Amino acid sequence: MKVKIWGCRGSLPTPGPKTVKYGGNTTCYELRSDSGELLIIDAGSGIRELGLALLPELPVRSHIVISHTHWDHIMGYPFFTPLYIPGNSFDIYGPIHFNFSFEDVMKKQMDYTFFPVRMEELAAELKFHDIKEGEHQIGSFHVQVQYMNHPVLCLGFRIQVDGKTFVFTGDTEPYFDTVYGDREPQNEEEREEKEELDAFVQSQNQRVIEFLRDADLVIYDGAYTLEEYPPKKGWGHSPMEHCIETSLEANVKKLIITHHDPTRTDDQLDELLPGFLADLKSQGASMDLEFAVEGQTHQL
Ligand SMILES: [Zn+2]
Ligand SMILES: [Zn+2]
C-alpha cells in the first residue's frame, strides 16, 4: 500500500512563503493498494491537485471516505475535477448524522448561495453511504471505523490491505473529564462520580491505543505542542506529545503528525522535530517519527 499526502494543514488553507515546505492545503490522503485500487481520505483543499493528477487515468473509479464534515475536510470537494467527467464513479462514505443524511451535508456546501454548480449537475456517478463505527469492506480495503474525540462526529479509519495496516485518526484530542475539569469533588457523592468519570475517560483513551495497535503507519492529528494545548483544550486536536506517547504505547512502526496549525511555520516544525527524535532515542524507541509533508508518498 502507498499513502500520498495531498494536504496536511489544519483548519484553513495556508499558502505563502512560511508554509512552502510542509504545505498549505487542508486534509487529503491518497491510498493505493498494490493492485492500484484507489481510496481517498478526506476532501480538503488538497483534493483539487489530486483530481488533476488523476486525469491521465480516466475513467476514475474510487472510494472516498470522509472523516467528518468540518469545512477543512470537505472544502475541496466542489473543486475535484473528476466529479465533472462522465464515466467516472465514486462511492463516498461519511459519518451518519441524526437529522440529515451525509449526502445532504455534502450538498449544502454546493448550495447556489455558496457555489455556482449544483451537486445534481456533477456528471460522474456518485453513491453516498452513511457509515457508523464498525467494520466495513470497501473494495479490497478492510476499514475499521472508530469514533474519535472531536466537536462533531468524527471517524478514525484503520485500513488494512496487502497485509499492511494504516491508521488515520481524523481530528481528535485525548478524552478528558469535561464535568469536573480541574475542580476537586466536594463530597462523597461527587468523589464517586469523579472516580467513575476518570475510569470512563481512561477506557476511552485506551480504546484509541488499541485502535492504533501494531499499525505500520499512523497519521495523527497533532496540531499543538503540549505547552500550547491548555487554552485550546476542547477544540478537538491533540498535543504532539500525546500522539507520540499513544503511538509508542500502541507499538506503532511509524508516526506522522498532521493537521498543522495555520499559524505553524515551516521553521517551527523544523525546530520541533529534533527534540522529539532525541526523546525517542533516549527511550530506546524504534518508532519512526515525521511531520506530514504535502506531496510526500509513504510506501508501507
Ligand atoms: Zn480539521
Ligand atoms: Zn475538525
Ligand 2 centre distance from Cα of residue 236 (Å): 7
Q: Residue 288's CB: how many other CB atoms inside 10 A?
A: 14
Q: How far apart are CA 214 and CA 210, in angstroms?
A: 9
Give the ligand at the shortest distance from the Cα of 149. 2
Rg (C-alpha) for the chain, rounded Å, is 20
Give the ligand at the shortest distance from the Cα of 150. 2
pLDDT of residue 119: 85
pLDDT of residue 237: 98
pLDDT of residue 121: 87
**Across 68-82, 98-112, 239-253, 267-281, least confident range:** 98-112
- Residues lying with their CB under 5 A of ligand 1, a single-atom ion: 10, 72, 171
Ligand 2 centre distance from Cα of residue 151 (Å): 7
Tens digit of pLDDT for each residue in 193-218? 999 999 999 999 999 999 999 999 99
Helix (H, G, I), strand (E, B) or coil at 196: helix
Ligand 1 centre distance from Cα of residue 213 (Å): 23
Task: Return the C-alpha cell found at 270.
Answer: 523544523
Ligand 2 centre distance from Cα of residue 23 (Å): 18
Give the ligand at the shortest distance from the Cα of 151. 2
DSSP for residue 26: B
- Of 227 and 180, more confident: 227
**Across 44-48, 109-113, 130-134, 283-287, least confident range:** 109-113
Alpha-carbon distance values, 283 to 218, 238, 251, 275, 287 (Å): 20, 22, 13, 13, 11
What the chain holds in terms of domains, given with CATH numbers, is: 2-299 (3.60.15.10)
Confidence of residue 169 (pLDDT cuts 50, 70, 90): very high
Alpha-carbon distance values, 56 to 3, 51, 52 (Å): 19, 10, 8
In the sheet where 164-168 sits, what is the strand order? 134-138, 141-147, 155-161, 164-168, 217-221, 254-258, 288-291
Ligand 1 centre distance from Cα of residue 23 (Å): 15
Confidence of residue 182 (pLDDT cuts 50, 70, 90): confident
Give the ligand at the shortest distance from the Cα of 68. 2
Q: What is the dihedral of CA 98, 100, 106, 107, to 10 degrees?
A: -170
Question: At residue 181, does pLDDT exceed 90?
Answer: no
Give the ligand at the shortest distance from the Cα of 235. 2
Ligand 1 centre distance from Cα of residue 185 (Å): 34
Ligand 1 centre distance from Cα of residue 279 (Å): 27
Confidence of residue 172 (pLDDT cuts 50, 70, 90): very high
Confidence of residue 179 (pLDDT cuts 50, 70, 90): confident
Q: pLDDT exceeding 90 applies to what percent of the chain?
A: 92
Q: pLDDT exceeding 70 applies to what percent of the chain?
A: 100
Give the ligand at the shortest distance from the Cα of 12. 1
Phi and psi, residue 274, nearest 5°: -55, -35
pLDDT of residue 108: 92
Ligand 1 centre distance from Cα of residue 46 (Å): 13
Tens digit of pLDDT for each residue in 57-77? 999 999 999 999 999 999 999
Give the ligand at the shortest distance from the Cα of 42. 1
pLDDT of residue 120: 85
Ligand 2 centre distance from Cα of residue 45 (Å): 14
Mean pLDDT, rounded, for 104-130: 93
Alpha-carbon distance values, 267 to 255, 271, 272 (Å): 20, 6, 9
Mean pLDDT, rounded, for 157-174: 98
Tens digit of pLDDT for each residue in 39-49? 999 999 999 99
Ligand 2 centre distance from Cα of residue 41 (Å): 14
Question: At residue 227, does pLDDT exceed 90?
Answer: yes
Ligand 1 centre distance from Cα of residue 154 (Å): 10
Q: Catalogue the E-assigned strands of the chain.
A: 2-7, 28-32, 38-41, 61-65, 89-95, 125-131, 134-138, 141-147, 155-161, 164-168, 217-221, 254-258, 288-291, 297-299
